[in-house]
Amino acid sequence: MMASSSETSKESTIKTSKHAFHKACKDMDFRLKMQFLRKLGFSGLAVGKYLKNNDLDMFQFWKGVDQNDPEIFQLVRDEVYSHKRNEKVDQLLAKNKSRRFQNREISWFIYGFCRFYSDESFWKDTIIRQKFQLQDSQLTEIESDYKGNFAERQYLMMMIWMKANRLKNIEKTIIKLKKLHLDIPETFAPTSEAGSSTGETDPLSAVHDSPEMKHHKTEPEDSDSDSSVDSVKGNKVNKLVDTTAEKLRQHLRTVVDEKCGREYGRAVEPVDLVLVKYTGQKDNDREKEQEKLARMVDEGNELKGDITIENMFERAKIEAGDIEKDKKSVGVVGAVGVGKSTLTKVIVQKVLDKKILSNASLVFYITVGSIDLRRETNLFELLFCSLITEGSLSIDKAEKRELINFILKDPNTIVLIDGLDEAKTKRLKKGHPTVLPFVKAKPMALLYNILNGKLLKNAYKLVTSRITQFIDASPEYRPKFVLEILGLAPSEQQKLARCVCGEQFDRVWKILQDNPALLECCVVPVNMLMALTFLLGRRGTSGNITLTGVYIAMLNRYIRSKHCSFEKGMDVVKMLCDLAFDGWQKNKSLFSDEDLEQFKIPLATQQAFVNTAVDSEDGLAISILQQDKVSYFVHRSWQELLVALRLVLFMPLNEFKSFLENAFESGDLENVLKFCFGICKDNVFEKARRLSPAAKVDEIDEKKKFLCLIAESKSKKLSESVTESDKVHDMQKWFHIFACLNELGSDDISLPVTKLLPTVADITGSVFSSDITNMASLYKLNNITLNLRNVYLSFVGNALQSFGKFVQEHRVKIDDFILQHCPDEQLPFAGSFLPHVETFYVESSGSLHDSTDSIRKNVLTLARSIKDGLLQIDHPHQIEVLYLTDIPFGDEGVSILSSGVGKVAELDIENVGMTSVGAVKLGEHLEMETTQSMVRLNITHNEVGDIGACAITKSIHKMKKLEMRGCGITCKGMPGITQNILNSQTKIPCLDLLGNKFGDNGAQELAKCLHLVEELDLCDCDITSTGTDALAGGLSKLQTPMDKLDLGNNPIGDLGAAAMSKCLSNVKSLGLGSGRYADRGCGITSDGVSHITSGLLSLQEPMQYLNLTSNNFGDDGAKKLSKCLHQAKRLNLHKCGITSTGGAALVDGLSTLQTPMEKLRLDWKLKSCIDADDLKILESKVKKLDWW
């Protein structure tokens, strides 16, 4: 038991926290107010009653309670629990005349059950009418008596059913409910009895989380007996879970081996896919809501570097912040065939091999495309469908419930959902009712509830989808952390090609290199495999090859190979096209035997399109339709191609126009439309028409014209959608048009579109080399000059090389270029377009982030590429900003870059691993430059030391701003730096020496040259009052005042404040508070403020800015400052210990001002202590009032 004094202290802490959070968060969404008590396991009634009585935001209250302190934790539980016994339940009990319901425990059980089924329509239609079979007359009477109170109506309906079935206790009620296949709610109670005013046991303790509940006990039982029963039961459940887990693992190993191991006729080694964080999600409401908590929630630091399978769930936890449902959820998006399914299988393999999530218990792999979405099922059947189909899982109903209840709570279950886009996603745009585990529902309803955390909330979850369908989904179903698969790096393409082609690699690879448009598509793994398989059987090496041409040629040759033996006159392709189109219209990817019979597809045809291996003679490997219990297209690309063939070859012209009229607006038709353009290409159409004797060839010209017409129409819409004031296009929206026209390959038909191409645009996101090639081909036709305002790109495959070539050939002007990511092999081309760029940023990630030997080579390659690009520039300072922060160039890399420094106005090489060696080399090149002054040089956080700093400052007169924060400069280097400043004999606009520990000796040296420095930052330099005296002496000698002097985070104390107060007239802005990277202040008390006040009152003109942050001078200091507020235009008093008393004094001082102060920063806590009238005075007397 806690000591009474300790308990009083803890309770006081809780009350204080409640008050503070109540003030700060009274406007929060009520839904967030449920989270705190839900964590403690209380029912809805306890939560609601407590919150209603206190009007508290419990989400924030929970943030203020130390969860690791068991005493505070228990007090909170007990305090909340005391509100459970409330008048509402007593009133309900009083209305019921029967004594059998006077027992408080059964009443609480009834209420808990009712709240568990809180969906009103489900309660009335399923529970009451179907399960309980109550009469409508009974329902009408209850609904008329209790209008607007659904909870009371539920309670009374439940009592009527229990009376009719003579259910007098919890035990019998539970048995009856289980017979009706209804779930029992999970509820928990505090371990302490402090909340019970009557000494009774917790009324909810009779209801436990297992379906095999402990019975409600009327007599005490032996505790050892209970423990023994629990132990036996636990062992039984564990054995069941272990057996089931092993069966799942055996099945998954078979699936992974079959799908990945030999799909292409030979053992294909795994290849690495490029994974990056997807940054193109639409804004979602929960993120906006979280912005309100910005000052209370600690944001996780983003991990740097490439995202790997091994770290993606760690990253998800960080990205999720306080959103519980997303802490173990990962989304994966990517283009068609880019490897989403392959990635999930690789993850399964790594889990089975215990390389990731080694504590995994049960692993479920759900492929949406193989589920019958029309048939209702439950959670057990959805998860275990593969084992049920195989007949390898035979358990009774009780064991099923044991398994599901284990899975619902197990934190080590893994669920992988592959191909969410293969089902209807319109419902993903809005909410979906809760589905219970053992209630039958449509499969997508169950998947929705898994995604939004209502089911399997403790499990690890990964879901894959195409990008368009995924970002259109409601934030409720989207994980916060989303990966994008960019495809295969060039080296991985070659690795895969060597594996598939064997001895023919050189010949096949040469064909790909001679057809760059096809090679660029091969960044997508499925396209790569298609192209390789096709080219293995191709004898010639000439001619332009498109992706559509590869698909058509493969299909053409396959149906004529020995794999297919059809009856004479059978139109196989027509049958498959009809099946694919019917499924597309009905949004169905799973086909039954009835579907195949409907389109007259015989067994021989079905078997011909089951997965086949590479035949050494034919060199063919194709997978179109996979046959099992049901049939489905093994890849969506095949269904899309067949739909396109159905449209071009068989559909009448009027229907064709009607179907594709708005195709460019539909994300679902993106690839279908591209295939349609490709089929209409002359040489491809000649092969496509041979696929079926029923092909309509007479309308092809009209269809081709119509396709070009809708492309032109879409281009006009994009052109007209840009505002007159901005006129900046989003080039990503044009890429689909470019791709379609490139597949068609007709310059004449493309000309009308080229006249509408944007001249000013932004490009952001991920780009493939084919995107750049397609864009370049159209701009080449009309010779249009393009200005790219903002380029923020991840380059896939050879895209960076293609982009550099496009920029150079078309003289593209780029304002801001940010290189987010590119393959290592493409780094030599990173600087190729520097002559056309104004600002150039390289993000440090992946292959540019670490300092290992392999990474070192990449970094030096980048340095040489940038140097070569800079040397191509004719004019000095043509590059406005070159930003290379956090890239580990080291001395060697900096030495390489130094030769081009004269072409850069601002160079930012912060934290690049430079020492004095690199700094000396950089200093030599700076000295050799005879051009105008460099705008800014930032070498912050490089340990250049005294020697390096002296070498750099020899050219300080050529710089407008020099930043050397945290560079290891000591008092030994300060004489050299000072002398370099004195030798310059010109004003230095800005010198930043923050974080260099040169102390008082260094300050004394700098005091000699203050007349040559306009802005000087000396934060956190270990300067005391002695050094401050020297600086004050230097300031007092100035003819004209300094613009800025910052002494923040230096322990100058009151003596230092007194010294600076004597020369306030010689500095416009003075920092005596906290600095950028620390929050210690200068140790100034109320006595020091007295000196500052005297100095301010003696000024003839007010100071521009005075920063006194983090000096705890309190209300006394605030009162003194209130007398001279007119002498500072901007004042920072954040974290100065000012309370309501000091705030009132500041208000009084401000009220006397003739001219409003420009800016005042105060603690945000102080705002709640100031009354409304004083707030109005503050707002009227301060132009920008900043509560921080």
Using alpha carbons only, give the angle 643, 647, 649 rounded to the nearest 5 degrees.
110
What pLDDT is stored for residue 68 in this prediction?
43
Question: How would residue 592 be classed by pLDDT, with cut points 50, 70 and 90?
Answer: confident
Q: Which pLDDT does position 584 carry in this prediction?
A: 84
pLDDT of 7: 47
The one-letter amino acid at 1135: K
Predicted confidence at residue 559, as pLDDT, reads: 74
pLDDT score, position 847:
59
625-627 and 631-633 beta bridge pairing? antiparallel
**pLDDT of amino acid 630:** 56
Place of tokens 């300050």: 1003
Lowest mean pLDDT among 194-208, 382-396, 751-765, 885-899: 194-208
Non-local CB neighbours of 941 within 8 Å, separated by 6+ positions: 910, 911, 965, 966, 967
Contact 80, 49 (CB under 8 A): no
The arithmetic mean of pLDDT across residues 492-496, rounded, is: 82
Using a 10 angstrom Cβ sphere, with 0-12 exposed, 13-18 middle and 19 or more buried, the burial of residue 580 is buried
- Interhelix angle 735-744/670-679, rounded to 10 degrees, is 20
Q: How far apart are CA 785 and CA 783, in angstroms?
A: 7
Please tell me the number of Cα atoms within 13 Å of 323 on its side-chain side.
Answer: 25
Nearest one of 1021, 933, 1052, 957 to 1006, comparing CA atoms = 1021
Contact yes or no for 371/446 (Cβ under 8 A)? no
Place of tokens 């490139």: 742
Tokens at 1131, concatenated = 């004042």
Lowest mean pLDDT among 533-537, 611-615, 1062-1066: 611-615
* Confidence bin at 931 (pLDDT 50/70/90): low
**pLDDT digits 0-9 by tens, 972-996:** 999 999 999 999 888 899 999 999 9
The residues, ordered by sequence, that sit 6+ positions from 156 with a Cβ below 8 Å of its Cβ are 92, 95, 142, 146
- Helix, coil or strand: residue 386: helix
What ranges in 283-364 are assigned the alpha helix state H?
A: 285-291, 312-320, 340-352
Residue 148: count of CB within 10 angstroms of its CB: 6
Read off the tokens for 749: 């038909």
In this prediction, residue 75 has a pLDDT band, given cuts at 50, 70 and 90, of very low
**Which among 794, 791, 739 has a CA at the least distance from the CA of 766?**
794
d(CA 842, CA 1059): 45
Q: Which residues pair with 904 in a beta bridge?
A: 879
Side chain identity at 561, as an amino acid letter?
Answer: S
Classify each residue of 975-993 as buried b or exposed e, where b means 16 or more C-beta atoms within 10 Å of its C-beta. Answer: bbbbbbbeebeeebbbbbb
- At residue 247 the predicted structure's pLDDT band, cuts being 50, 70 and 90, is confident
Do residues 508 and 589 lie in contact, with contact meaning Cβ atoms separated by under 8 Å? no
More confident residue, 291 or 1032: 1032
Nearest C-alpha neighbor of 118 from the set 67, 48, 175: 48
267-276, 369-378, 771-780, 946-955: the lowest-pLDDT one: 267-276
- Over the stretch 800-828, which tens digit does the pLDDT of each residue have? 888 888 888 888 899 899 888 888 888 89
Which of helix, strand or coil describes residue 366?
strand
The reported pLDDT for the residue numbered 683 is 86
337 backbone φψ class: left, alpha, beta (φ>0; ψ -120 to 50): left
Measured distance CA(725)–CA(167) in Å, rounded: 74
Q: How many CB atoms lie within 10 A of CB 962?
A: 22
pLDDT above 80 (res 73): no
* Cβ-based neighbours of 531, under 8 Å, separated by 6 or more: 512, 518, 521, 522, 547, 550
Of 746 and 723, which is predicted with more confidence? 746
What is the rounded average pLDDT of the residues 1156-1169?
A: 88
Residue 1169 has pLDDT above 50, yes or no: yes
Q: Which one has a higher pLDDT value, 188 or 918?
A: 918
Closest CA to 993 of 960, 1012, 1027, 970: 970
What is the tens place of the pLDDT at every residue in 211-242?
A: 333 333 333 334 444 444 445 445 767 788 88
The pLDDT value recorded for residue 320 is 82
Does the structure show a pLDDT above 80 at 15? no
Distance CA 1130, CA 1158 (A): 6
Nearest 5°: the CA angle 520, 523, 529 is 105
Question: Which tokens is 959 given?
Answer: 């710089």
In contact, 889 and 863? CB cutoff 8 Å: yes
Both tokens of residue 1099?
A: 């000024």
- Number of Cβ within a 10 Å radius of residue 800: 27
Predicted local distance difference test score (pLDDT) of residue 220: 35
Residue 196 has pLDDT above 50, yes or no: no
Reading the block at residue 81, the tokens are 């629990």
Q: Quick one: pLDDT at residue 690?
A: 87
At 54, is the pLDDT very low, low, confident or very high (cuts 50, 70, 90)? Answer: low
Amino acid occupying residue 1082:
C
Beta carbons within 8 Å of 775's beta carbon, 6+ residues apart? 731, 734, 735, 738, 806
* pLDDT confidence of residue 118: 67
Residue 707: half-sphere exposure toward Cβ, Cα within 13 Å: 31
The residue that leads in pLDDT, 845 or 193, is 845
Describe the crossing of helices 999-1006 and 1025-1036 by its angle, rounded to 10 degrees: 0
Could you tell me if 639 and 609 are in contact, meaning their C-beta atoms sit under 8 angstroms apart? Answer: no
In this prediction, residue 426 carries a pLDDT of 54
Q: If 0-12 CB within 10 Å is exposed, 13-18 middle and 19+ buried, where does residue 809 land?
A: exposed
Beta bridge partners of 393: none
Predicted pLDDT at 267: 38
User: Which one, of 137, 121, 9, 144, lies nearest residue 75 by Cα?
Assistant: 9
Rounded to 5 degrees, what are φ and ψ at 1011? Answer: -70, -10
Of 805, 830, 798, 260, nearest to 488 by C-alpha is 798
The percent of residues in the chain predicted with pLDDT above 70, rounded, is: 72
Kindly state the greatest CA–CA separation across the chain: 108
Q: Report d(CA 1093, CA 712) in Å as an integer.
A: 71
Query: By three-state DSSP, how is residue 1105 classified?
Result: strand
- Give the Cα separation of 374 and 443 in Å (integer): 8
Query: In angstroms, what CA-CA distances link 350 with 171, 343, 346, 353, 384?
Result: 45, 10, 6, 5, 21
Average pLDDT, the chain: 75
3-class secondary structure, 1187: strand
Please give the DSSP secondary-structure letter assigned to residue 699. T
Please write the tens of the pLDDT for every residue from 450-483.
888 888 888 999 998 877 667 667 777 788 888 8
Helix, strand, or coil here: 1158? strand
Contact assessment for residue 252 and residue 365, using Cβ atoms and an 8 Å cutoff: yes
CB 902 within 8 A of CB 873: no
DSSP-derived 3-state class of residue 929 = coil
889 pLDDT above the threshold of 60: yes
Considering the chain, what percentage of its residues have pLDDT values greater than 90?
20
DSSP alpha helix (H) spans, 1037-1154:
1053-1061, 1086-1097, 1114-1121, 1140-1151
Residue 502 · residue 265 · CB < 8 Å? no
Q: Which residues contact 536 (CB under 8 A, 6 or more apart)?
A: 500, 501, 504, 508, 614, 619
Does the pLDDT at position 886 exceed 70?
yes
Write down the pLDDT at residue 1167. Answer: 83
Alpha-carbon distance 1049 to 1083, whole Å? 8
Instruction: Tokens for 748, please give them.
Output: 């004449």
Query: How far is Cα 556 from Cα 623, in angstroms, rounded to an integer?
Result: 14
